[in-house]
Structure formats: structure tokens, C-alpha cells
Amino acid sequence: MKKNKVIIKLKDVWKTYTMGENKVHALRGLNLEVAEGEFLSIMGPSGSGKSTAMNMIGCLDIPSKGSISLDGTDIASLAESDLAQIRGQRIGFIFQKFNLINTLTAKENIMLPMVFQGYPENKRHEQAERLLRLVDLHDRMDHRPNELSGGQQQRVAIARALAVSPQVILADEPTGNLDSKSGGSVIDFLKKLHKEKGTTIVMVTHDANVAKHADRREYLKDGQIVKKL
């Protein structure tokens, strides 16, 4: 069986924050590889470094030392403008708090990443409507976030994450603000996306019942991978 290529690689990654006279090591020599088409969950208690690791993978921050490779590109030393370009083109984000813009409709929220990437207007409309059908919200395209349930808002956020056909989806506690039924439907959709489209998904969660749906689980403690589950 052919092994998929590694598209994310963190090698001896440290992240240190200076807090007054103290230094806080959020990551302590983290080593992690993610293969193309893999569904990985990263677990760990509060303060374990999960969010910091997600920020590194998502090009939202750079390490204090160590290397991070995204599909062969070393991102550890890139300028912010270059990181922003990589984020916009290669990575889709799903956040716990949805992060939708309340003054925009569901469709307009999904179209926004395509505006930043210079998609022509007709393409933006076609892609947004296709994605709304994919997440079963085509009849809610003109609704604003405050007119949608939490589960519906998260499905809009998933559609927005897919807008520019990214290589990787990063999901940060995607069910954290949802009831169990809505959370279950979001996980079912991520699993479907992974199975049918082969999308690479990295999900951070503290919930073992959510994490168990991934292909692989890694447990983070004190900024290091301590065990596979």
C-alpha cells in the first residue's frame, strides 16, 4: 500500500513567550508529521500547547526555533506578508466561535476569502452556492449569522473554510460551542469531507468522543507529544 506524502512537518519546534522576567515554553521541541489526506486529532489538557501548535501549522505564528514545512515550503522564517498569502491559498480554518461577520449573509461570508484571493465575481457566486448546497444550507444563503442556529453557523464556517479549495483544513474545537446533536452533525460532515474528497484535516479538541473519529490521535502535554491514542 502506497504511503501518502507528508505535507506538514514540525521538527523540534519551540515557542517561548517572555512574561516579564519569566519565560514560558508553550512548545518544547514538538515533532509532528501529517500525511496528505489524513484526518488527525490533537488532544491535550488546557495549557498543553494545542492552540500554539495549531497556530504554527496554520501559519498564524512562527516558532522561536525549529522548522515547519508545509508541502515542502519552510514557513518558519517567512515574513508576515508571505505567511498571509500561504494562509489564504492553502489553509482553511474552522473556529470554535465560528468567526462569521454578522453584517454579511451566509453566502457573503463564504465569498469573502475568494474576494481576497481575486476570484472573479461570477466564480465567487457559483462556488459559494455550490458549498451552501454541500453543507445543506442553500435555502439559508441570504440569512445573517444571528438568524441561524449554532450548528448552521458552524456549517457556514466549514463552507467558508473550503471556499478556495485549500490543501489543509484546521479545525480548532469545532464542536466546542455546539450541543451534542449539532456537534455530531459537524463531525459527520468533516468525516464525509475526509472520506469522499480526501481532504487533509487537523483537528484540535479536548473531547475524546470527538477525537475518536479521526484516523490518528496525538496527545499533547507540556508542549510535547507524549503518546499516540
Q: pLDDT tens, 29-63?
A: 999 999 999 999 999 888 899 989 998 999 888 89
**C-alpha cell of 164?**
478556495
pLDDT tens per residue across span 95-107: 888 899 999 999 9
- What the chain holds in terms of domains, given with CATH numbers, is 37-63+72-228 (3.40.50.300)
pLDDT band with cut points at 50, 70 and 90 for residue 1: very low
Residue in the structure block whose three cell numbers are 489543509:
168
**C-alpha cell of 99?**
468567526
- Crossing angle of helices 106-116/121-134, nearest 10°? 130
Q: What pLDDT does residue 101 have?
A: 95
Mean pLDDT of 201-222: 92
Q: What pLDDT does residue 133 have?
A: 92
Q: What pLDDT does residue 229 have?
A: 52
pLDDT tens per residue across span 143-196: 999 999 999 999 999 999 999 989 899 998 888 888 888 888 889 889 988 988
pLDDT tens per residue across span 103-139: 999 999 999 999 989 999 999 999 999 999 988 999 9
Mean pLDDT of the chain: 90
Could you tell me where the beta strands, DSSP code E, fall in 1-43? 6-19, 22-35, 39-43
Using the predicted structure, report yes or no on whether residue 88 has a pLDDT greater than 80: yes
